[in-house]
Amino acid sequence: MTLATISSSPRRLATIGLVAWLVAACAVPTNAPTDSPTPEPTIPPTAPAYTLGPTPSACPTSAPAAMAAGTTATVTMTTNYGTIVIKVEANLGPNAAGAFIALARCGYYNNVVFHRVVPNFVIQAGDGEYARLPNLDPDKYGQGGPGWTIPDDKVTTSYKQGTVAMANTGAANSGSSQFFIVLTDSAFDGVAATYSIFGNVTSGMDVVDKIAQIPLGGEPASATDQPDIPLLPAVITSTIVTTP
């Protein structure tokens, strides 16, 4: 399994209504494609709104500057399942850290759902193009981004439970906004270290684990893959950046 398939392969969901959506909350994760609903948004839009443009509060239209060496920041990410606190460190991956902080500050992640869950591996979010409420497009989950990419960072540490890293398409220098959180210490055993690490979860792994337990459906990319689209929306409602 690669993060390339996690970030770029389309999946399909069929709308069957809110009642079935609520029933799915009690269902056991399925190992086969499942008809599953796209819900009416239950979480109102949050501020700041995501916009592109030249104003200071707008999100960048080109790759942000790398985070300055030796600096750190804390991103408090509120979701409808609870709060996840991420310590971002420039020395882990300055390009990925700079992009993540810039997008968190401008509101890019607001109302974006965790569009991919792979049990015992990762949860993934950051597709602000196709995985943002109220205009979810599950057929294109994982294919969207801000319109720019960043240079890869050298991976100098191991992936472990709570590691936060940048997803990519499998090609060099293709990361942008999509990130993942590693679920177990052994998740990346045997997986190439090609995904820029930029931080770690310092609080809220219980929230990450709750998201990882959401029932899954959708059409896998291949016969060897499992359904990986959450059948309930795990939504990022706000991200707050603080620095020491």
For the chain, 244 residues long, give each residue's pLDDT as a single digit of tens.
Answer: 445 444 444 444 433 232 233 223 323 232 333 333 333 333 344 444 444 444 546 899 999 999 999 999 999 999 999 999 999 999 999 999 999 999 999 999 999 999 999 999 999 999 999 999 999 999 999 999 999 999 999 999 999 999 999 999 999 999 999 999 999 999 999 998 999 999 999 999 999 999 999 999 988 777 778 899 999 999 999 999 999 8
Best CA proximity match to 197, nearest among 125, 102, 92: 92
Q: Does domain 72-242 have CATH number 2.40.100.10?
A: yes
Separation CA 242–CA 244 (nearest Å): 7
Give residue 57's pLDDT.
Answer: 63
Give residue 32's pLDDT.
Answer: 31
pTM above 0.85, yes or no: no
Give residue 221's pLDDT.
Answer: 72
Domain boundaries, the chain: 72-242
Separation CA 93–CA 223 (nearest Å): 34
Give residue 58's pLDDT.
Answer: 83
Separation CA 108–CA 148 (nearest Å): 14
131-159 CB burial, b ≥16 within 10 A, e <16: bbbeebbbebbbbbbbeebbebbebeeeb
Name the residue with tokens 């792979």: 118
Give residue 224's pLDDT.
Answer: 78
